[in-house]
């Protein structure tokens, strides 16, 4: 696959990015594409490695290794290397519903498991994928054709995030009549309001949704299933219902002073920023949310990083990102061998921008908030931080991060954003449908299946897995579509 000696002849090269100085002045995407000839060279680096871990999509040591969609990565890279982009798109579309999304927001599990990366830099599969899908759009190859025959079966999909959209896409292609319900004012779920525009331009969602509507999928927005419309109503109208509502129940911080004004959940904050931008066609930049404020972000993951980049664009005075766990190693440890997901220190775009603007990495490790301090009007003015250390619990044997006595210090704070993850599905939805939940509050199913405890009700995505990646949500959406189709028709060709 690719050029046999390509990985020896060509160094890895990534597309250019706009400078921090330029990109923090707007909310536009800042990753640029390589030219076609350079992209072909990057694809040529794909080795004839024999065992392509890049497309395995399996759990190793509790972490996903390789692509959960099982994209045929070596074959895709080979076609890009040969310049056969139309064929590359057809190959990619066999396994993938929305390459335009993952090629921008996926952490590239395929690259982390690339054999070429074992002794050097992995193949730039993510950028190859982006080149393929954008070529396909530019040349009119991306279509969502309406099926020639309808089955007469009706399916409701609750939630229009990546899993809901993927399920709707395949079920519509099969000939079922699909309606997607979304509680927000626009389609996209997490893709729309959980990811900032500079990371995923929202016009890309509109571009795909428009094709899906033309193919016969019906989208109903501003309808909150479980409140505005109920399970009993859906069961009467539809032959099957797929719950793809995400894991949108945020984990809170219960420190004293939590009721102070100026403490928000991160996704609510990101959603407000994005909605204001979209409603005004990017004319209304809500700088008042963070301008001249000392911002504390609790959480070191992707959402925390997105908050860093967003607050810098809104004119924050300072940005500090708290991470409970120790700082990761700069390279793989012996306890974290390839092809496991590499638990190493990464500097994402938000941290890069903070380093440029403030002169240092915004992350503080092994630290959390012990107390929120209010002024006389109830507004947040400071936080008391405390350092943490790992200690073994004598009863459970597990290592826990516990406060270090005497390590408290007070820092100014005008805005705190809680990006500490999610606890699973929202209870009002699961209660309305009467489906069982597991001890992590995810909707319960049999292993590797999607049928819930209620007949005709299925689940997929973060609502099923817990908080995870866009690429895993798409894989779940495609898999639940197959299970629903087989239940409705007695067989499936998806």
Are residues 10 and 116 located together in one domain of the fold?
yes
In contact, 215 and 172? CB cutoff 8 Å: yes
Q: Token pair for residue 160?
A: 């229009």
Residue 397 has pLDDT above 90, yes or no: no
Residue 3 has pLDDT above 90, yes or no: no
> CB 151: neighbour CB atoms within 10 A?
16
pLDDT tens, 314-346?
Answer: 999 999 999 999 999 999 999 999 999 999 999
**Nearby residues of 403 by Cβ (< 8 Å), 6 or more positions away:** 368, 370, 386, 387, 388
Beta strands in 194-252 (DSSP E): 218-220, 240-243
Encode burial over 340-359: b for 16+ CB neighbours within 10 A, e otherwise. bbbeeeeebbbbbbbeebee
In this structure, the answer to whether residues 341 and 370 fall within a common structural domain is yes
Same domain, 393 and 459: no
Look at residue 2 and tell me whether its pLDDT is greater than 80: no
448 CB-near residues (< 8 Å, 6+ apart): none
How far apart CA 180 and CA 245 sit, in angstroms, is 11
- pLDDT category at 223 given cuts 50, 70, 90 is very high
Q: Tens digits of per-residue pLDDT, 91-134?
A: 999 999 999 999 999 999 999 999 999 989 999 999 999 999 99
Percent of the chain topping pLDDT 70: 100
Note whether residue 143 is domain-resident: no
Domain assignment present for 149:
no
Neighbour tally for 434: CB within 10 Å? 11
The CATH number given to whatever domain includes residue 36 is 1.10.1060.10
pLDDT greater than 90 at residue 145: no
253 part of a folded domain = no
Could you give the CA distance from residue 406 to residue 30 in angstroms, rounded to a whole number? 43
Does some domain include residue 382?
yes
Q: Are residues 131 and 107 in the same domain?
A: yes
Q: What is the pTM of this model?
A: 0.96
What is the bridge-based pairing of β-strands 154-158 and 63-65?
unpaired
Alpha-carbon gap, residue 223 to 9, rounded angstroms: 55
Tell which of 138, 171, 193 closes a domain.
138
pLDDT, residue 1, reads: 63
Backbone angles phi, psi at 444, to 5 degrees: -90, 135
Range of the domain at 13: 6-138
Residue 422 pairs in a beta bridge with 250
CATH of the domain at 406: 3.50.50.60
In a domain, 255, yes or no: no
Residue 445 inside a domain? The answer is yes
* 170 in the same domain as 127: no
Please tell me the number of Cα atoms within 13 Å of 368 on its side-chain side: 19
Q: CA 477, CA 461: separation in Å to the nearest integer?
A: 7
C-alpha 232/C-alpha 472 separation (Å) is 30
The pLDDT confidence band at residue 396, using thresholds 50, 70 and 90, is: confident
**What percentage of the chain's residues is helix, strand, coil (to nearest 5)?**
35, 20, 45
Judge if 18 and 133 occupy the same domain. yes
- Considering the domain architecture, whether residues 411 and 429 belong to the same structural domain is answered as no
Assess whether 183 and 230 both reside in one domain.
yes
65 has a pLDDT exceeding 90 = yes
Domain boundary at 386, 418, 450, which?
A: 418
The domain tally of the chain equals 3
Q: Report CA Rg, the chain.
A: 23
Q: Cα–Cα distance between 371 and 189 in angstroms, integer?
A: 33
Among 292, 282, 270, 204, smallest CA distance to 26 is for: 282
Q: What are phi and psi of 347, to 5 degrees?
A: -110, 110
Domain presence at residue 494: no
Q: What's the pLDDT at 99?
A: 98
Residue 269 lies in a domain: yes
Q: Give the SS3 label for residue 177.
A: strand
Which tens digit of pLDDT belongs to each residue from 299-317? 999 999 999 999 999 999 9
Is residue 351 within 8 Å of residue 362, measured between CB atoms? yes
Report how far residue 352's alpha carbon sits from residue 438's, in angstroms, rounded to the nearest whole number: 39
pLDDT given at position 424: 85
Query: Given CA atoms 360, 362, 366, 370 in this order, what sign does their dihedral have?
Result: positive
328 and 442 in a single domain? The answer is no
Give the DSSP per-residue string, 89-158: HHHHHHH-S-HHHHHHH---HHHHT-GGGGTSPPP-HHHHHHHHHHHHHHTT----PPPSS--S-EEEEE
pLDDT digits (tens, 9 = 90+) for 169-183: 999 999 999 999 999
172 shares a domain with 100: no
Instruction: Give per-residue pLDDT as tens, 441-451.
Output: 999 999 999 99
If asked whether residues 411 and 431 sit together in one domain, one would say no
Q: Could you tell me if 406 and 458 lie in one domain?
A: no
pLDDT digits (tens, 9 = 90+) for 19-47: 999 999 999 999 999 999 999 999 999 99
Contacts (Cβ under 8 Å, ≥6 apart) of 57: 64, 65, 66, 67, 68, 69, 70, 109, 475
Among 138, 170, 193, residue at a domain's last position:
138
- Token pair for residue 325? 């766990």
Q: Give the bridge partners for 71, in sequence order.
A: none
- Report the mean per-residue pLDDT for the chain: 96
DSSP string, 439-465: TTSSBP-STT--B-SSTTEEE-THHHH
Which two three-digit tokens encode residue 302? 């992707």
């Amino acid at each position: 696959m690719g050029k046999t000696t390509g990985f020896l002849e060509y160094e890895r090269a990534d597309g250019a990015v706009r400078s921090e100085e330029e990109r923090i002045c707007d909310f536009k995407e800042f990753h640029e594409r390589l030219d076609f000839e350079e992209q072909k060279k990057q694809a040529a680096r794909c080795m004839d490695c024999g065992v392509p871990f890049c497309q395995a999509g399996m759990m190793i040591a509790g972490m996903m290794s390789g692509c959960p969609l099982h994209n045929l990565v070596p074959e895709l890279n080979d076609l890009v290397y040969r310049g056969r982009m139309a064929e590359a798109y057809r190959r990619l579309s066999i396994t993938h519903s929305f390459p335009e999304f993952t090629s921008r927001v996926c952490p590239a599990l395929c690259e982390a498991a690339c054999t070429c990366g074992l002794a050097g830099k992995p193949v730039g599969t993510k950028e190859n994928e982006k080149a393929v899908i954008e070529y396909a759009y530019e040349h009119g190859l991306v279509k969502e054709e309406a099926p020639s025959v309808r089955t007469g079966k009706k399916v409701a999909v609750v939630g229009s995030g990546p899993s809901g959209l993927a399920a709707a896409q395949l079920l519509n292609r099969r000939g079922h009549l699909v309606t997607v319900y979304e509680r927000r004012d626009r389609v996209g779920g997490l893709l729309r309001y959980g990811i900032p525009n500079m990371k995923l331009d929202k016009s890309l969602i509109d571009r795909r949704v428009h094709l899906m509507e033309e193919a016969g999928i019906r989208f109903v927005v501003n309808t909150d299933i479980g409140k505005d419309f109920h399970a009993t109503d859906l069961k009467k109208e539809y032959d099957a219902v797929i719950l793809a509502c995400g894991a949108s129940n945020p984990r809170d911080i219960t420190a004293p002073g939590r009721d102070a004004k100026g403490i928000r959940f991160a996704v609510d904050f990101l959603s407000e920023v994005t909605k204001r931008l979209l409603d005004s066609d990017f004319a209304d930049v809500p700088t008042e949310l963070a301008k001249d404020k000392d911002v504390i972000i609790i959480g070191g993951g992707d959402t925390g990083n997105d908050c860093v980049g967003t607050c810098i664009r809104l004119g924050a005075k300072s940005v500090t990102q708290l991470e409970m766990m120790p700082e990761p190693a700069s390279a793989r440890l012996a306890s974290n061998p390839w092809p496991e997901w590499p638990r190493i220190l990464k500097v994402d775009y938000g941290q890069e921008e903070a380093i440029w603007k403030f002169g240092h990495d915004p992350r503080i490790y092994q630290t959390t908030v012990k107390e929120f301090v209010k002024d006389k009007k109830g507004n947040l003015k400071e936080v008391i931080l405390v350092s943490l250390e790992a200690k073994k619990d004598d009863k459970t044997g597990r290592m826990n991060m516990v406060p270090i006595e005497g390590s408290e210090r007070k820092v100014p704070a005008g805005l705190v954003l809680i990006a500490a993850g999610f606890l699973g599905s929202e209870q009002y939805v699961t209660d309305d449908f009467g489906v069982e939940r597991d001890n992590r509050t995810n909707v319960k199913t049999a292993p590797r299946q999607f049928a819930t405890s209620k007949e005709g009700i299925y689940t997929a995505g973060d609502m099923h897995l817990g908080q995870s990646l866009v690429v895993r949500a798409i894989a779940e959406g495609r898999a639940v579509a197959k299970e629903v189709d087989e239940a409705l028709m007695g067989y499936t060709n998806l």
